Structure 1
Amino acid sequence: MGKHIVAQRRGHGSLVYRSPSHRHLGDIKYPRDGTYKIEDIIQAPGRNTPVLLIRNEKNEKNYMIAFNGAYVNQEIHVGDIDSPAIGDVTYLANIPDGSYVYNIESIPGDGGKFCRAAGTAALVISHGAYVSLKLPSGVNKEFHPRCRATVGFIAGSGARDIPILKAGTHIKYLQSKAKRPYTVRGVAMNAVNHPHGGGNHQHVGRPSTVGRGTPPGRKVGRLSPKRRKKYGR
């Protein structure tokens, strides 16, 4: 008798495959305009970047991705700023060319979508009808002038320099991010665990293309492909 394959067990949503969201700080977006003071620097679970706990004069608490050089009791400004300093949040139209920014909004008001990983930043190249930025990938992308960004680099640039050393450490690191630490090939499994498993040698043994309406448990391989990609040609 067959078993539920890994994809089915993952889709069931058990605690083994679910992200520990109860330990996370939630979605970090930009606060409303005003002056804030850094109250604490937090190492947030599930992130490789530190997070700033900030408060304004009305005692409203918010979280913000930390910038390199941040310290407790430092003041940062959010809003329409003519001469922004490192750590300030303002519109791209107000940030001069040659500046580095991070947590850039894709659409004005969405809270930031680009350059949110540790140690990353984008370079402001030019201003016009749109603001042109050079992303860490090397791609030049245009943004609306009313999109907000934070001036500076994201803290935690050395997060990837620390060697993991052990496989178990890497598994726990990825589980905190709700990512699979490894992937076992279907042909390497037993026939009871996967449609591609079993046999005296590793082979699929059947067409690996399946239709869009294939029921769960058999829906593995190439899902409703238009063509099979030829490698090495």
Structure 2
Amino acid sequence: MGKRPLVRRRGRGGSQFRAATTGKIARAGYPNFPLAGSHTALVLDIVHERGRDAPLAKIRFKDGSVSFVPAVLGLQVGDSMQFGLKSSIERGNVISVQNIPDGATVCNVERHYGDGGTLVKAAGGSATIFSHGENGVTVKLPSGQFATLHPRNRAMIGTLAGGGVSERPFMSAGGKWRNFRSRGRKYPIVRGVAQAAYAHPHGGGRHQHVGQSSTVSRDAPPGAKVGSIAARKTGRARLKKRN
């Protein structure tokens, strides 16, 4: 009897493949305040959350409520943050995109009003307000794509802190394993041809080779759905000869 391939076991979603829930602090997003109101918060602390590269800022409002928001570059303990339509265009303030001028750098942008921020939340990430139009506000995302948002959606002025953390090398395999484990990612990943025949369709043989077509159908059974799934073309791209 064979063994289930790794990709099939990951698709089933066992506990060994899910991200750990321990070490999480709280939801990182904007509180649901009335849009026309003006609120000021004090930064109490800069904290780290497991599985998140960007640091979080612990803030407290005048009514005593405490929230956690992603910290922008340069934010310090004791700084004040403004929330509202009339907030100034300064680092760390949260304003609706309709009141942010073109060319401004923003982060933690709301895709839908009230979601607390779902776009541009990676460490060192930032987006640019591109234009204001009748259909909404166009924002250029870090990927280079453009997104048109509702004018009421909120965004934070500045660039998220923690940039360059992905460029830091791992000094040991154990450190990389723990980093991937906190995000629910599998490490190390063993090649199929390096496994035994009972563990993977590409395994076995006197030497490491696939031994069959690596392109499989989209409707292939789970035990055989490995390799190039429903590939339109394979191999190296060939340049067309010019006339």
Equivalent residue runs for 1:1-233 within 5 Å: 1-33=1-33, 34-129=39-134, 130-223=136-229, 225=230, 227-233=232-238
**1:103 positional shift:** 0.9
**1:205 positional shift:** 2.6
TM-score (norm 1): 0.86
* 1:38/1:53 contact within 8 Å kept: yes
* 1:83/1:95 contact within 8 Å kept: no
How far apart, CA to CA, are the structure 1 residues paired with 2:26 and 2:187? Answer: 22
Percent of residue pairs bearing the same amino acid type: 40
How far apart, CA to CA, are the structure 2 residues paired with 1:26 and 1:9? Answer: 30
Unaligned ranges ≥5, structure 1:
none
**1:131 positional shift:** 2.2
How far apart, CA to CA, are the structure 2 residues paired with 1:162 and 1:207? Answer: 38
**1:76 positional shift:** 1.2
**1:213 positional shift:** 4.5
Over aligned residues, Cα RMSD in angstroms? 2.4
Secondary structure of 2:32's aligned partner: coil
* 1:32/1:78 contact within 8 Å kept: no
Aligned residues: 232
Of the structure 1 ranges 64-73 and 8-17, higher mean CA displacement relative to structure 2 is found in 8-17
Secondary structure of 2:17's aligned partner: coil
CA offsets 1:125-161 (integer angstroms, 9 cap, x no match): 3322232333333444433222210001111124234
Flag the 1:49–1:169 CA change in 2: closer, same or farther, 3 A: same
Unaligned ranges ≥5, structure 2:
34-38, 239-243
How far apart, CA to CA, are the structure 2 residues paired with 1:226 and 1:8? Answer: 19
Residue identity opposite 2:10 in structure 1: R
**1:228 positional shift:** 3.4
